[in-house]
Amino acid sequence: MIADLLETSIIISVLAATVRIATPILLAALGEMIAERSGVYNMGLEGTMLMGAFTAYIGAYYTGSLWLGVVIAMITGGLMSLIFAFMVITLKVEQIVTGLALNLLGSGLSIFWLRAAFANAGQTPTTPFFDTVPLPLLSDIPFLGPILFDQKILTYVAFLLVPATWYFLFRTRYGLELRCVGENPKALDIKGLNVAARQYAAVVFGGLMAGLGGAFLTVGSAARFVPEMTNGRGWLAIVIVIAGLWRPVPVLLATLVFSFLDALQLQIQGIGVAIPYQLLLAMPYVCAILALAIRRSHSGAPAMLGIPYWRR
C-alpha cells in the first residue's frame, strides 16, 4: 500500500494539498514575521486566526458575498491586533501574557457568537466557498501545473506575499526602518522618527494577515465554522517564523515542510495504511519541536524581540 504513494497522480495530489494547506499558515507566518521584525511577538495569532475564520464565515453567511466575508475577517484580525498593539506598545504590558489573553478571547468569543447566531450549534449552515482558479497556460504545465497553478486566489496571494515582503524588508526605506526598530529602536528614535507608529503598523499588518489566513479556513475550504478549527495553525505559524529565521524565503520553505507532512498524513490515512492516525496527525508538531530544538540559538532574531521600548 505504501507503494501507492509513489504513483504520479497521488504525488500530484499530495503536493497540491501541500500548497493548499500551506496557504493559511503562510499568510499568518508572513504577517507574524513582519510584526516580530518590529520587536513585537504576537502570541495571540491562534485566537486572531480563529476570529478571522469565524467572522469570514458569519460575514459570508449574512451578506452572501465571499469577498465581503474575507474583508470582514481582515478587519476583525486588524482590530484584534490593534487591541494587542495598544496593550503591548502603548501600555507596555508583557507581550506573551497579552497574546495568551487574546487567544482566550478569540476562542471564547467565536464559540459564544456561534451559539448566539445559530440555535443548533452542532448543525450550523454551510456557506459557499471559493473555487480554484486555474491560471491560463500555466496550469497546463505537466506535473507543476496542477500543483501550483490550479489553486484558489488566496493561495496565489499568499505565495506572492513572499517576494513582496522580501522586497519590502530589504529594498525599501520603510523595511529598513522596520528592521531597525526590531534591532535597536533607539537608533530610530534619536533620528526623530516614531518607533511606536512603526510597531503599530507592523502588528496590525500581522493581524490583517492572520485574519486573511483564518478566512481561508472557512470560506476558502471548509465552508463552515467549527469551534477551535484553527487547530494549532496559529502556533505553528509562530514556530515557522523562528524556524524560518525571520526571512520570507526560509519562512516559505518551513511552511511547505510542515504542510507537506500534514498533506502526507491525510493521504496515508485516506489510503488506509495501518499506522495509528494520531501518530500521523502529530507529525507536523513533532517536526516543529525538532525544528525549535535544532535552531536553539535565536540567531537571526530581532535583538529587541519581546522587549518594550522605553526612551531613557
Interface contacts to another protein, rule CB under 8 A: 171-174, 176-177, 179-180, 183-184, 186-193, 303, 311
Closest distance to another protein from the beta carbon of 193 (Å): 5
- What is the rounded end-to-end Cα distance, in angstroms, of the chain? 66
Residues 58/117, Cβ–Cβ less than 8 Å: yes
Nearer Cβ to another protein (112/174)? 174
CB neighbourhood size of 50 (10 A): 31
Closest distance to another protein from the beta carbon of 175 (Å): 8
Closest distance to another protein from the beta carbon of 189 (Å): 7
Nearer Cβ to another protein (43/178)? 178
Q: What angle do CA 297, 302, 305 make, to 5 degrees?
A: 95
Nearer Cβ to another protein (65/184)? 184
Nearer Cβ to another protein (144/303)? 303
Nearer Cβ to another protein (62/174)? 174
DSSP 2: G
- CA–CA separation, 227 and 267 (whole Å): 24
DSSP readout, 38-106?
TT---TTHHHHHHHHHHHHHHHHHHH--HHHHHHHHHHHHHHHHHHHHIIIIIS---HHHHHHHHHHHH
Closest distance to another protein from the beta carbon of 300 (Å): 9
* 3-state secondary structure (DSSP) of residue 246: coil
Nearer Cβ to another protein (174/277)? 174
Closest distance to another protein from the beta carbon of 171 (Å): 7
Closest distance to another protein from the beta carbon of 195 (Å): 10
> C-alpha grid cell for residue 158?
499568499
Closest distance to another protein from the beta carbon of 299 (Å): 10
Nearer Cβ to another protein (20/37)? 37
CB neighbourhood size of 8 (10 A): 9
Pairing of strands 150-151, 133-134: antiparallel
* Rg of the Cα atoms in the chain: 20
